[in-house]
Amino acid sequence: MAAVPYHPTLAGNRATRNNLYASLWIWLFICPLAMDYKAVSDASSHLAQILLAVPTLFAGAMLMLIAPRFAEHSRLRAFVSFSLVLAVPASIITQLVKGNDFGQYLRVLLPFVLFQLGFIVACRPWQEARIEQFEKAIFWANVISLAFTFVYGIATGGPLADVRYRIVSATFLGLQGVLLHEFVIAKRFTVLTLGIFMMTVVIELLSVTRSLLVGTALLFVLAIWMSAPSIQYVVRAMLRATFASILLGAMAIGAMSFFPNVAQHWTERLFYAEKDTTTGKDPTTITRLAEMKFQYDEVTSTTLSKLIGEGYGHDYRYSPAYLPDLRGQMSKTDFYAQHDWAAGHNFWVYQFFAGGLLFGIAMPVAILYSLMRALITYRRWRAAVPNAPYLPVLGRAILLTAALPATSIGGNPLGPRFSGLIFGLSLGLMVAMHVQLRRLGVRMRPAPVPPQPIGGGSDDGPGGVGPSMPGDYAPRLEPRLVAPPRMRPAPAPGAARPPADAVADDDERTEPS
């Protein structure tokens, strides 16, 4: 199908397009929290963390004020917006009922507030130049976060076994997803993107984190599936995937040659983590399961908790059912001394623990459902119109948003503030591009052929035998992107004809706000 020139109808009003400070607000909204960090201890000062959040919240409020208004209704956007309202503002109901520590409640809630704020800002119908600025700011903020987190983690001191948890940025897999789009789908290899991806491979190897390896593999498979919209492209996609795998494998081998101890750590982590314990079970997996079971048992203990949850910032511990599985790894005293109030390691269970059936289920369902809808839209357009406008933006937003469930394998993606903001922006961009492409598809549909009465055609059709049937020999209608000009009645005899430039189509007379 040939490419069709497209003029967006959701590009915002003229005041938004000409706003001189929009670019400043975009970069100020996204970049400051890229240098967010996790304090070494709870007793440390949090003044710097507070100062980083202030410009983000202020710039986000300014972007909400200057953002273009919606030109049409979208059920997907409305569903996601309603789900976020249940998860974030409505959580005050649970807080009032449960009476959790208010400081803990605010600290856990802030990443979710940033997630909702990022979605509200990004799902607006911005024009192409603003969307490009959003994408650039998100990409470079992820790169800054990658470098800053690594340097800060190394600077905190200690052996690699202690700092390996601090050298991985909160949006690590999101940055890898965007780079995989460039390599696998767009087939663009530059020195910059290869260098950044090499940096991610080195950090991933030094962290010795299995969940990151699994997340990278899942994003790689998703990128391959997105690059092959139909069966006939599978072989070509597999060849590109093989080439990319060889390239990434060479990067990993080269990185491991500089760190000989890393290979030994990975071998122990993959093959001997369970054998070195008394019970033969991986202690990391057991502690995660113990945390999830305690949260589930706590929230299902009463009918009220099952409905509204325990609230953000509520204390949780390890379930005693898993104490025997940690024999030899943790004493009974240390086991029962474990408690926390931060967002739990498992995103899906913690949402149910914090919000219950009423406030905790809607947001995870909305994220997965919007991902599924966006993937369907992307594959359909890539098969029919591979160079359609906004399709590359949708592809990058999908892989960035898909990093959220991929990150949830090893931790809560909405625990850190920066990841909450970035994933909210990616979800908003994904929904906005989905709406744009669906609107474009509606405008590209050919106009229906009006039915003709039987026998109303010429007695001699093109074949010269009998009357022609409606639509049998009708000319092929090309897709139209603008409404036809409005017909005017013919002027009366002797009346002056209107000037030619007085007749304009609807798109020229009106501009969507």
Total structural domains within the chain = 1
Asked if residue 137 has pLDDT above 80, the reply is yes
- Tell me the mean pLDDT in the region 110-121: 96
Phi–psi pair at 347, nearest 5 degrees? -60, -40
What is d(CA 489, CA 486) in angstroms, rounded to the nearest whole number? 10
Percent of the chain with pLDDT over 90: 49
Full residue range of the structural domain in which residue 38 is found: 14-279+340-443
- 415-418 long-range contacts, Cβ below 8 Å, gap at least 24? 415/111, 415/170, 415/342, 415/343, 416/36, 416/38, 416/111, 416/170, 417/33, 417/36, 417/49, 417/53, 417/110, 417/111, 417/114, 418/33, 418/34, 418/36, 418/141, 418/145, 418/169, 418/170, 418/171
Per-residue pLDDT reduced to its tens digit, 184-226 = 898 888 999 989 998 998 898 888 888 898 999 999 999 988 9
Asked if residue 470 has pLDDT above 60, the reply is no
What is d(CA 113, CA 116) in angstroms, rounded to the nearest whole number? 5
Task: Give the pLDDT score at 269.
Answer: 67
What is d(CA 416, CA 110) in angstroms, rounded to the nearest whole number? 9
Selection from 361-365, 452-456, 465-469 with the highest mean pLDDT: 361-365
What is d(CA 230, CA 241) in angstroms, rounded to the nearest whole number? 16
Asked if residue 6 has pLDDT above 50, the reply is no
Confidence tier at 31 by pLDDT (50, 70, 90): very high
Q: Are 340 and 363 a contacting pair, CB within 8 Å? A: no
Q: Where are the alpha helices (DSSP H) in 410-464?
A: 417-443
Token digits for 306?
A: 């099952």
Examine residue 8 and state whether it is found in any structural domain, yes or no: no
Token digits for 162?
A: 């202690």
Examine residue 188 and state whether it is found in any structural domain, yes or no: yes
Cα of first residue to Cα of last residue in the chain, in angstroms, is 31
Asked if residue 435 has pLDDT above 90, the reply is yes
- Tell me the mean pLDDT in the region 478-483: 40
Report the Cα 104 to chain-centroid distance in Å. Answer: 27
Examine residue 413 and state whether it is found in any structural domain, yes or no: yes
Examine residue 477 and state whether it is found in any structural domain, yes or no: no
DSSP annotation of 259 reads: -
Per-residue pLDDT reduced to its tens digit, 228-281 = 877 666 677 677 667 767 776 776 677 666 666 766 676 666 666 666 666 667
The residue whose two tokens read 């959580």 is 91
Examine residue 308 and state whether it is found in any structural domain, yes or no: no
Task: Give the pLDDT score at 325.
Answer: 85
**Minimum mean pLDDT among 317-331, 356-370, 452-466: which range?**
452-466
